[in-house]
Structure 1
Amino acid sequence: MATKKATNKPAQKTSFKKYIFWFWALFIGGISIIVLLFCMASWGFFGEMPEFDQLENPETNLATEVFSSDGETLGKYYNENRTPIKYEDLPENLINALVATEDVRYYDHSGIDAFGTLRAFVYLGSKGGASTLSQQLAKQLFHGEGSQNIIARVSQKMKEWIIAVRLEENYTKQEILAMYFNVYDFNNNAVGVRSASRIYFGKEPNELEIEEAAVLAGMFKNSSLYNPRRNPEGVTNRRNVVLSQMAKANYITEEEKVELQAKPLKIDYHPESHQSGIATYFRMYLRDFLKDWAKENPTPDGGTYNIYRDGLKVYTSIDSRMQKYAEDAVSKHMKNLQAKFDEQNKKNKGVAFRGISQDAIDKIVTRAMKNSDRWYQMKEKNIDEEKIIASFDKKTEMRVFSWKNEKGIDTLMTPRDSIIYYKSFLNAGMMSMTPQTGEVKAWVGGINFKHFKYEHVKQAKRQVGSTFKPFLYATAIDQLHLSPCYELPNTIHTIPAGKHGVTKDWSPKNSGGEYGGMVSLKDALANSLNTISARLMDKVGPEPVIDLIGKLGVDTENIPPVAAIALGSVDLSVFEMVSAYSTFANKGVYVKPVIVTRIEDKNGTILYQHVPESRDVMSEEAAYVTINLMEGVTHGGSGTRLRTTWSPPYYKDVVTGHPYGFKNAIAGKTGTTQNQSDGWFMGIVPNLTTGVWVGAEDRSVHFPTITYGQGATMALPIWGLYMKEVYEDKDLDISKSEFEKPKDLSIEVDCDEVKENQDNENQDNTGENLDF
């Protein structure tokens, strides 16, 4: 037995050493393989790894944000609606909710949570994953969602670990949190927590309540599943899980948790898209402005700024409050005006077209077809033109605009019929500007941007009618030193052929058909007497008038030097009219309109700063006298309804009592075209000029009579409704004062005093003929 024991001991020792050897060999080999795999991942063997400079400047596709002059966000331009937010602007509750739910040991690890990793390995992920916030950020920034392939998943996880450690080495915990909040996609065009907060709750992140912060923190698990619009029940349950985690981590008390979990889910959805929000038409124009600016202003490295991803900050002159009042005024008036328009078109066989043949209507519709998206899209597919035309006669499901439902109405209609349907709507353009600075405060380019893309402030030019007459009067005042009290005979005046561009004798008539007696310039402008305009045009000629409006910012290239411009036969934009009229309020100094005051890059570096452009156009005296003339329009002319109890019949069910009741100084002018297709009103107070145009897309679509088809009914009410709201907002400080009179005014503007002096002279010089 002793021999047996002696032979067994060496065998046991050899066997034990073998196990020890293989254990260490496998352990060291495994560690080496893991290290080698990490090195290979770092070297790029398993796909591209970001360089250090990429980590310093991760590509996050930042939206350009547009701000109003009062600090509100008007809108954004983006591929992804991501607007970065700084850590200090994140509310504590939002940070706590995220950390408690996604990475409770976030402040204790350096990118990899060893405890969490071990737990995930032992329990195979059944008690939670091991990804830290740093790892999740790495995945969001550099390689997106994981793969189903096991090898790819392992390589991605290794890359996540490497990037997470690098992030932790180069950024503070606070910076990593801010980056993570800024890159996550919350769906519904909400990329980043600032967009999500604005879209789902209509507020900035620092305004979020605890339960609202918990909703957003819960969405980090799966924003598609926990989408507040599609899954309110699931979102509520997920929110309550987050609140439980916050209580568990001692960020809130148990009592607070119970109270907050009992609250109903409240979502205040505010979509942010290129077609929603306020100032949509303005933003469309601004987009093109910025693209042109970017072409002329390269980046420091010689590249071109991209407004959809470079995170620019654009500061505009628009006041969000005034913009809202303007849009509300347009909507309120146009809804009622359209109802009256539709009522008058019930028996019209041409639907809304008047005074043209069916052949002309067909040509209008065909032209609209060829300008439509449907036509362009089918053309790009090389579809035969006959088939394209045939497609416009096939009924299809569509959502069309209606004043009865702001979201539109679903219907079955042929595309051809939809064209005629849209042609039947009246549209509007409106702009408001500070004369002294050129700052555009409100810009309404139409009634609904989603359905009517054509812009009616800058893009459209329409016949201005009698709103052109102040330019003629101003020319006469400046050249001939005329007083508003200067009188001319109200009789038909003929400008013979060959004079002032007239091809045959021109004898314009008054729209009201009233003639006789002597009329002052003030009364003539107030009542838009064409006979007086003809006489003034005969005195000064068309060239000086065109020269004046050119100095007032009007494009005169296509304006012929003919006498007929005295009655407003020219086509101008609302933008041109407002900027030109503003010169009268600014004492004869033209200031070029400004819409952008400053542009900054994503780091706050100023790339563009507006420099005012101005020039003297007329004397302060001539400007004031013209203003005085236009004040007569609101005291005894077509603008008198701004001060009286009169209101259009269709307002009876909308506005009770007196709709306007203005008592302050207002200079204005209405304009109406010959067939009632265009209605204008230009209104001026000392520190605000506003222009309004109303009409249909096609000039053959118009009111049948002057009752509703005049500027005083079509456009003036929008100005009145807008200014009532503007004046009620005391923070805006819109003037109710008198227009400032020049100290050295030599032209008499008090016509009552002039008349009294003339009567006295007549008594002293009985029998003499006074020559006016």
Structure 2
Amino acid sequence: MLDRIKKNPKIKWALIILLSGIALFFLFFATIYFGVWGKIPSSRELSDLKQNKATQVLASKGELIGKFYIFDRQPIAFEALPSYLIEALIATEDVRFYEHDGIDNRSLLRVFFKSILLQDDSAGGGSTITLQLAKNIYGRKDYGALGIVINKMQEAIIAKRLEDIYSKDEIIQLYFNTVPFSDNTYGIESASMKFFNKHTSELTLEEAAVLVGMLKASHYYNPRIFPERSRLRRDVVLVQMSKYGYLTEAKAQEAKMAPLVLDYKNFSHDKGIAPYFREQVRKTVSKLLDTLKNKDGDKYNIYRDGLIVHTTLNYKMQELAEEAMLEHMKELQSQHESSYGEAAPWIKNKKILDDAIKSSKKYKALKSKGLSDSEITNALSEKHPVEVFDYDGITTKNMSTIDSIAHYLKFLNSGILALNPENGAVEAWVGGIDFRYFQYDHVTQSKRQVGSTFKPIVYTAALENGMDPCTYFSVREVTYDNGWTPSNSSSEGDDPFMNYNLKTALSHSMNTIAVKVLMETGVDNVISEARKMGIKSDLPAVPSIALGTASLSVEELAGAYTSYVNNSKPVTPYFITKIEDGNGNLLAEFKPKVAKTRAFSEDNRKIMLDMMQATVNEGTATRLRSTYGLRNDIAGKTGTTQDNKDGWFVGITPNLVCVTWVGSDDHRIGFRTTSIGQGANSALPIFAKLMQKMNDDSEFKTITSARFQPLSQELASLMNCDPQERDNLLERIFKSKNSSRSNRNRDKKKKKGFLNKLFGKKEKNN
């Protein structure tokens, strides 16, 4: 034989070429094995696989409300994988999975000849689940013409090592936790939650087939974009399951008849439920993680470490709050624009528009390039397709950057915070009308003048400093030392000789009396009371503070008002209960922060609640009864700031405190008329609509059915006085001659003083 080879040069050279080829192949393989083309993970590294995992944000009952991630991945256990999901994968991707050791030699030969010898990159067919797992974990690199060969050999080496380390079930688990799906989603649990809004364990056979079918080409078979393609691919998976004995033919046919129905939930940071709340959670958790370290001594990463953040948010209430806000704001925006007509300040006020233009990112970018103002204006005036927000939907319009800026200037915005007054737990948080286009959070970031919602603090301070609830004050206007003359917006100020008790004055939000109550109580005492109620912002020590010239956030005001239904103790709003790692180990826990001491007496708390219930029943918030038909026990206070810049409403029930604010982000743009801009019209309806929706849902019965404790006989007697009285003849003459007299604080029950003795009982007007 050797002699034949030596005598026949063709055989000799053929043998040399063959042996050289084999040697070169093994040499080439050795370069891959030993990492010349890139390091291959060792068995030790593979035994401790770590993948980026999405941090989950959960509502109070465990509902998923959002995620923070680089890759959207939520690992789950093998036991959570339905059997038909595993069978669908094996039938479609690797029918001999339980027979091979990571490499299907029969299929590999086919790939070798087609891909290598025939250079057919699309041949496929040789990949096993384990090989795909290797690719999922480590990806592929571009090695030029030899890329497909090098990558597949690297994957083969990794696959063999994986099979040596993990059982078949563990490989299935790892595969499903790492495999990529459409829309930047990794892992079966994330895909299940995104496309069907359910956990993997809850998937139906048809839904499992849809997700497995997507693996062939995740974008091409994306059921959100290409539903018909996805349905046809699903049917192929079902046929494969029947072919290999996992389904009967009848069951497969039945499943193929089912329609493809998605319940798509996009966990994009800008979209979905509670985006402003989720952003606040992200900021808070990120800051906290800087102080925590894992077992390796490294800081946790909110985007990579698969943490679980438990929050106080009531998922259903949040949905209803967002619905209520959008329903009202759409209508209010229409009123707002119609009231201005062609005189709209976002168009006609050159200063406002110019300031907005110069604050824009595009203007600053052009300015940084050294362009002149005229060049910048020309650039910003060029029209182009722009995606714009409107309440009728997101549309694309051909408009300039200046047009776009003017468009967004016209929008009113809103902030809503609903708290459990007992512990400060945030139940609902709406920071604006749409996070995609208005990312400024009006719950925490924005501080606006609070208007008449500050008056209850003034009246509480007055009671705490000994003022009797039946003290009467004249509605008459008074000019103070600084030349300031507060007036009333309502008809109660028409008769300068009329006097009102505290309950009537507060419920009808009489400005002149609020200032007189403050002056008699003392500005310092009022500020001190505000501090006791949890207000930490700067408070101006001026008479106008009685009318709410102090600027507070929605969050701060809500916390102060909780004291009226929490045993006179204010609470600090909180929204995270605990943070766990991916294995459920507790990393941090948060407890309610309730003030240790009472801000005011129990009797004065009940008196103030009674006064604020009168606001709803007969005062400035009667729309809750007359327009919205609410019969719940509700106390409240409306608020409107100067020139109708801000509208406020605070709604109080025994088990819920809710603050709503409405206004323009540019302080110079107010409502054109008080009828539109007053808190009763601009902010109150959001609370009213929310309560209507909660009344229709039995889940909220503990809130909607709760009742305030009635006044005791002693307190009812203390407040048993006529709401108003009119000056007698001598008092009118005296007031006419002495217009600087600011009030007439007379305890009507005791009937002391010269005038009472001289004229007896006063003339009443009920």
Shared fold, TM over 0.5 = yes
Match of 2:343 in 1: 349
Q: Structure 2: give runs of 5+ residues left out of the alignment.
A: 725-746
The aligned runs of 1:709-724 (5 Å cut-off) are 709-724=677-692
Rounded Cα–Cα distance in structure 1 between residues aligned with 2:723 and 2:432: 46
The amino acid across from 2:587 in the alignment is L
**Distance in 1, Cα, partners of 2:34 & 2:264:** 46
Query: Could you tell me which of 413, 417, 421 is aligned with 2:403?
Result: 417
Judging changes above 3 Å, is the alpha-carbon distance between structure 1 residues 318 and 376 closer, same or farther for their aligned structure 2 residues? farther
Deviations along 1:702-733, whole A, 9 cap, x unmatched?
A: 33222222111111111011012223322233
Alignment correspondent of 1:553: 534
Aligned to 1:6: none
Per-residue CA deviations over 1:556-587 (Å, capped at 9, x if unaligned) read 33x21111100111111111111111111101
Asked if residue 77 in structure 1 is aligned to residue 68 in structure 2, the reply is: yes
Aligned equivalents of 1:507, 1:672: Cα separation in 2: 14
- Tell me the secondary structure at the aligned position of residue 296 of structure 1: coil
Alignment of 1:320-399 (within 5 A): 320-346=315-341, 348-351=342-345, 361-378=349-366, 386-399=374-387
Q: Distance in 1 between matches of 2:190 and 2:2?
A: 74
Q: Which amino acid aligns with 1:555?
A: K
Matched, 1:67 2:47: no
Cα deviation, residue 523, structure 1: 1.0
Partners of 1:674 and 1:205 in 2: CA distance: 55
- Matched letter for residue 632 of structure 1: A
Paired with 1:726 and 1:13, the residues of 2 have a C-alpha distance of: 94
Of 579-588 and 287-296, the range deviating more from structure 2? 287-296
> Deviations for 1:675-696, whole angstroms, at most 9, x for unmatched residues?
1221111001011000011112
Q: Distance in 1 between matches of 2:282 and 2:558?
A: 22
How high is the sequence identity, in percent, across the aligned residues?
38
TM-score by length of 1: 0.86
Q: How far 1:57 sits from its partner (Å)?
A: 3.9
Shift of 1:527: 0.2
Q: Tell me how far 1:97 sits from its aligned partner.
A: 0.9
Distance 2:458 2:650 in 1: 15
Q: Deviations over 1:26-46 (max 9, x none)?
A: 78x988876665554333123
The one-letter amino acid paired with 2:77 is K
Contact 1:493 1:535 in 2 (8 A): no
Counterpart Cα distance in 1 of 2:322 and 2:160: 52
Deviates most, 136-145 or 667-676: 136-145
Relative distance call for 1:706 and 1:35 in structure 2 (3 A) is: same
Deviation at 1:412, TM superposition (A): 1.4
Q: CA deviation at 1:666?
A: 0.9
Instruction: Tell me if 1:430 matches 2:378.
Output: no
Distance 1:704-1:496 versus aligned 2 partners, 3 A rule: closer
**Which residue is equivalent to 2:508?**
527
Which AA in structure 2 matches 1:245?
Answer: Q
Partner of 1:258: 253
Distance in 1, matches of 2:39 and 2:707, equals: 70
Say whether residues 1:403 and 2:391 are aligned partners: yes
Q: Is the 8 A contact 2:537 2:552 kept in 1?
A: no
Instruction: Decide whether the 8 Å contact of 1:189 with 1:273 is kept in 2.
Output: no
Which SS does the other structure have where 2:534 is aligned?
Answer: coil
Which residue number in structure 2 is paired with residue 653 of structure 1?
none
Q: Which residue of 2 aligns with 1:154?
A: 149
Q: Per-residue deviation at 1:740?
A: 3.7
> What is the CA-CA distance between 1:217 and the residue it aligns to?
0.6
In the alignment, the residues of structure 1 paired with residue 513 and residue 534 of structure 2 have an alpha-carbon distance, to the nearest angstrom, of: 26
Deviations 1:209-255 (A, max 9, x none): 21221121111112122222443343233222211111112111111
User: Where does 1:589-600 land on structure 2 (aligned, <5 Å)?
Assistant: 589-600=569-580
Q: CA deviation at 1:669?
A: 0.3
Specify every segment of 5 or more residues in structure 1 that has no aligned partner in the other structure, as ranges: 1-8, 498-502, 648-659
User: Residue 114 in 1 paired to residue 105 in 2?
Assistant: yes
Letter in 1 for 2:309: V
C-alpha distance in structure 2 between counterparts of 1:505 and 1:96, whole Å: 81
Q: What does residue range 315-714 of structure 1 map to in structure 2 within 5 Å?
A: 315-346=310-341, 348-351=342-345, 361-378=349-366, 386-405=374-393, 408-480=394-466, 482-483=468-469, 486-492=470-476, 494=478, 496-497=480-481, 503-504=482-483, 506-509=485-488, 511-512=490-491, 513-515=493-495, 516-557=497-538, 559-615=539-595, 616=597, 617-644=599-626, 647=627, 660-714=628-682
Determine if the alignment matches structure 1 residue 137 to structure 2 residue 133: yes
**What SS is found at the alignment partner of 1:227?**
coil
- State yes or no: 1:249 paired with 2:244: yes
Q: Aligned in 2, Cα 1:374/1:86: closer, same or farther, shift over 3 Å? A: farther
Q: Is the contact between residue 492 and residue 507 of structure 1 (CA under 8 Å) also seen in structure 2? A: no
* Aligned residue-pair number: 726
Looking at structure 2, the residues matched to 729 and 609 of structure 1 have their Cα atoms a distance apart, in angstroms, of 31
Residues 1:292 and 1:123: Cα distance change in structure 2 (over 3 Å): closer
TM alignment of 1:208-357, pairs within 5 A: 208-346=203-341, 348-351=342-345
Deviation at 1:309, TM superposition (A): 2.0
CA distance in 2 between partners of 1:148 and 1:593 (Å): 58
Which SS does the other structure have where 1:708 is aligned?
helix
**Secondary structure of 1:402's match?**
coil
Provide the C-alpha distance between the structure 2 equivalents of 1:517 and 1:494, rounded to a whole number of angstroms. Answer: 14
Aligned partners of 1:236, 1:120: CA distance in 2, in Å? 29
Is 1:737–2:736 an aligned residue pair? no
TM-superposed deviation, 1:133: 0.8
Contact 1:492 1:509 (C-alpha < 8 Å) held by counterparts: no
Aligned 8 A contact 2:337 2:344 in 1: no
Q: TM-score, normalised by structure 2?
A: 0.87
Secondary structure of the corresponding residue to residue 734 of structure 1 = helix
